[in-house]
Chain A
Amino acid sequence: MRKKELKLVVTFHTTADAMAMEKACKKHGAPGRIIPVPRAISAGCGLSWCAGLDDREQMKEMMAKAGIEEEDMHECMV
């Protein structure tokens, strides 16, 4: 089984935002993948974006550019 590690998890207000995030990240070659919101976090729409802890600034920048509003950014074991 894959070992869990501390990751950056971005939650969104709507599923559409999460989907838009996936599209934008693919387009810009940004790191990460779409995952169901970890159950330790009680928020969001059900889907979230998971990336490395060091990617926080890149994520923020890209979301601002693509017009995607995050609900929150968490650090949790995924």
Chain B
Amino acid sequence: MAKTKNDNNGWQIVAYVAIAVIIVSLLVLGMRLTGYAIESTGIVRVNISSTAAINFTSNLINFGNGTVNPGKPSATLESNATAAVDGDWTWTAQHFILENVGNTNVALNLKTNQDATGFLGGTSPAYQYSVNDYNTETGSCGTPLVTLEGWNTVSTIGTDICTSFPFTDANDQIQIDVRLVIPSDASPGELSDTFTATGTAI
């Protein structure tokens, strides 16, 4: 008789526990299904992709046509000037303008398709470039690896010129000028070459 009473008590406890579990489960499911909750949080997530992008906003330097003055060994043309020294070329001052149009800082490398001899020919030609902060955008070429505002010889294999070329609008543009020393015995004709800048995200 005592055993039967204990069995009954056991089943009573199991039944009450089951009822409690049912109530909790229904509450959880009810809140999930109806959206009702005492406290609720929402999370907004957005991921902005990092994009390295550079662009020559001014991509042509054209010195026009001219001749080395008679009796001179060479003529010197600098794109930020307007006339040749010891030659009769004239042009409007012009530069390459390179802008970081992406949303990440990049390391900048510059190369040309040809060196001075390949481009101009003749005896002792020179083919150089100068990197400057464009306009008032100081610091555009962060930690420069070439002489800023000085003439550097071009490279066909590429030269790292800026450790960091920022994307922030206040300093995301650099100016590149070109200097040619055309010997009197340079190859006559229409000569051209291509500068290629590569920005790699840092």
Whether A and B are associated in the same complex: the answer reads no
B residues in contact (CB < 8 Å) with A: none
